[in-house]
Amino acid sequence: MFFTQTRSPRLPGRPVPATVLNNMALSIRSLFAPSRTGTLVLGTLLLAPALTGCKLIDQRTFDPNAGKPPKPYIPPTPPGPAPKAPFLQIEAGTPASEYGPIVEKAAKAALARKPNVLFIVQGYAPMQPDPAAQAQTLSDLTKQQIAPIADRIAAAGAQPIQIEIHATTDPSIQHARVRVDVR
């Protein structure tokens, strides 16, 4: 008994004995036949890898974000306003003969415009390696730069109560400076 395969242009036609086909069918049926314990042993082992590759079709198949809570778009905060330009700014080490007349003239102009103006004289020093050096730098800045500028403002006609003095550290600068603001 022979079963003849139809001829295809790709496969040569060889006869396959019918016993081979019957034996294959029997062996496949025996794989799925229950064993003594009533479980499908070999059939389950053969089908398990085939079933793990299956994926159920649901809404996430077409939209991976389906079922997830929405994340609202929060725009970044807009940049703050640009820092206000100082009324005067003097770099440390500038001689008094250079900045003196300019400070007096600016102070007189501010007093003429607003008689009760407040002059805020702020000294900024760079960071120092230790606290003792930092205190010494701020003390030197106050004596050598801030106090003479405040004296020039007072000489222009400002009352001592109209002059506010500060000295602070600014890690973003390399050289000390004095800034005069008005309010």
Of the chain, the end-to-end C-alpha distance in Å amounts to 114
DSSP E strand boundaries for 52-115: 88-91
| Other CB atoms within 10 Å distance of the CB of residue 181 | 16
Picking from 133, 104, 118, 130, the residue whose alpha carbon sits closest to that of residue 165 is 118
Q: Has residue 13 got a pLDDT over 70?
A: no
- pLDDT tens-digit readout, 119-164: 999 999 999 999 999 999 999 999 999 999 999 999 999 999 999 9
- pLDDT tens-digit readout, 93-108: 899 999 999 999 999 9
